[in-house]
Structure 1
Amino acid sequence: MVYDRDRKHRNDEVYAEHRAALARGEKRILQSTTNGELHSYREDEIGFLAGSGTPQVRTWWGMGILFCLMVVLGLGTLVVVFLPLASGGSAPWGVLFVTVFAGLLGWYFFGLARDEYRATKIRRSRGTPDPGDR
């Protein structure tokens, strides 16, 4: 990483602007961008914040993939339940817990993907940089 002697000054300006926006009653989130600079994001410019740690999903389409995996898992468990019923056997009803779990996680991932998609569109229209890791 290249040392940028003006970065501290720019970060101080962003921090002062952030404090002024909070004093005006605006809801803001102070977050570093993908290039390491601070930025004061409006509430609608942040979809979800990636946590810290090992690899994680950071984009709306990544959450969409997780949503699709949960749909496939949920449908697969329904097949496991209803296939024995079609052949006249007894169904493994305990598998429905996995179906419910997959449904709830799918609903959660869909909400995160939707929020991040909307926030990405807003950031693109305003020319705001993408937020970085926490």
Structure 2
Amino acid sequence: MFNASKLAYLDDKNLKECCLNLESALTNDKDCDVDGNDLFMELQILQDMLPNGAYEGEIPWTSIQIMEFTKKTDMFPNVLLAYKILLTIPITVASAERSFSKLEILKSYLRSTMSQERLNGLAT
């Protein structure tokens, strides 16, 4: 799902397996954010609906461009949700960990009276 060329050349077996894995990863008790079977069917239709320029050319469409396309068509609710999750989850957590370790330096015990607004300004 990272770009159009990878999406275009996934066979049905691998695509369905990935969709079901995503469904199980996003399931909490009985609540599920994405239905794997519906996502699979929507991605199959999306593969056919993407314009030829999305796959061909020097640079294939990125995941952001595919998400924008699905927003415009307003036909793929599971695909749109999956792309939103894909684009909001960081690949690594190293930057978040660095931010929290630097927070300890900024707000020590002696400077615990610092206001939230000042702390946000220093952290950014």
TM-score, normalised via structure 2 length: 0.26
Higher Cα Rg, which structure: 1
More strand by proportion, 1 or 2?
1
TM-score when scaled to structure 1?
0.25
Larger proportion of helix: 2
Greater RCO (Cα-Cα under 8 Å, separation 6 or more): 1
